[in-house]
């Protein structure tokens, strides 16, 4: 799958999401969408089916983390929804990630991309040390979790755009970096900390940028999306 801009559809209901997407009817480069826990728990598999019917690619961001057998079975269900990308927590271990991959792979051998969350960008080194009893640095943890994901056969990891180079160094150029934390050079950061703009994210090595509020809260979301596409993909 080629590099792309993914819009984070962080809406509380299917109605809000569909009303937002109606604005994109005439957009030349059809958006790739991320559906997270909020919208999925509110609107269920139906919203995924509806968006697939409308021709959107879907990254279902549910961050699974459970015993291997449960994750395997859950992934089989998600694979049948025909989504394009799903994820797990690398903290669930290599065995859990292998089980996820197995559950996701369809009888004909096809499957959605499977990526892992390393350390959440909201987790500080201090919290890792004091609460999780992890003494390694955050960068070493991210590199190790990314290597575990690669060993399990996954396609890439979610990380800050500033960590994309670190991930590529640890796992090779083909291992994908999916990066939230994107802001235009001239816009506000909101609650994001480790951010960069679309063009710089591409330079550092992002394969997919995940962009929420800079598009969803923009006065003109389509113009903001087109700007992301143009800065990130050079289109």
Give catalytic residue positions.
63
- Kindly give the residue spans of alpha helices, DSSP state H, lying in 81-205: 94-104, 125-130, 138-151, 164-171, 198-204
By CB under 6 A, is residue 161 in contact with ligand C5P?
no
- Choose the binding region for ligand C5P from 18-26, 148-156, 205-213, 218-226 (rule: CB under 6 A): 205-213
By CB under 6 A, is residue 192 in contact with ligand C5P?
yes
By CB under 6 A, is residue 196 in contact with ligand C5P?
no
Among the listed residues 116, 192, 103, the one whose alpha carbon sits nearest the alpha carbon of residue 154: 116
Binding ligand C5P by CB under 6 A: which of 54, 65, 194, 213? 213
Q: Strand pairing partners for 35?
A: 60
Handedness of CA 222, 157, 167, 10 (dihedral sign): positive
What phi, psi does 5 have (nearest 5°)?
-100, 125
The count of chain residues that interact with ligand C5P, using the rule CB under 6 A, is: 15
* Interface with ligand C5P in residues 7-26 (CB under 6 A): 8, 10
Query: Do the Cβ atoms of 9 and 39 come closer than 8 Å?
Result: yes
By CB under 6 A, is residue 180 in contact with ligand C5P?
yes
- Choose the binding region for ligand C5P from 97-105, 135-143, 210-218, 219-227 (rule: CB under 6 A): 210-218
Among the listed residues 159, 156, 145, 164, the one whose alpha carbon sits nearest the alpha carbon of residue 94: 145
Which residues of this chain interact with ligand C5P, rule CB under 6 A?
8, 10, 36, 120-121, 158, 180-181, 190, 192, 210-214
């Amino acid at each position: 799958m080629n590099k792309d801009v993914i819009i984070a559809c962080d809406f509380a209901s299917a109605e809000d999401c569909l009303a937002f997407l109606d604005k994109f009817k005439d957009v030349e480069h059809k958006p790739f969408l991320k559906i997270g826990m909020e919208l999925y728990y509110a609107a269920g598999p139906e919203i995924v089916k509806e968006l697939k019917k409308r021709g959107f690619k879907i990254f279902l961001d549910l961050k699974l983390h459970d015993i291997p057998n449960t994750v395997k079975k859950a992934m089989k269900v998600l694979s049948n929804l025909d989504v394009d990308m799903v994820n797990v927590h690398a903290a669930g271990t290599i065995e859990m990630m292998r089980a996820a991959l197995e559950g996701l792979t369809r009888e004909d051998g096809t499957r959605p991309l499977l990526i892992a969350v390393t350390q959440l960008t909201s987790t500080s080194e201090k919290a890792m040390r004091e609460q999780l009893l992890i003494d390694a640095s955050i960068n070493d943890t991210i590199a190790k979790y990314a290597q575990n994901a690669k060993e399990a056969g996954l396609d890439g990891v979610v990380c800050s755009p500033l960590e994309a180079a670190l991930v590529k160094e640890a796992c090779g150029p083909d291992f994908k970096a999916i990066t939230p934390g994107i802001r235009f050079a001239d816009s506000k950061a909101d609650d994001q900390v480790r951010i960069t703009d679309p063009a710089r994210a591409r330079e550092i090595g992002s394969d997919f940028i995940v962009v929420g509020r800079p598009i969803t809260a923009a006065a003109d979301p389509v113009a903001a999306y087109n700007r992301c596409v143009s800065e990130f993909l050079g289109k």
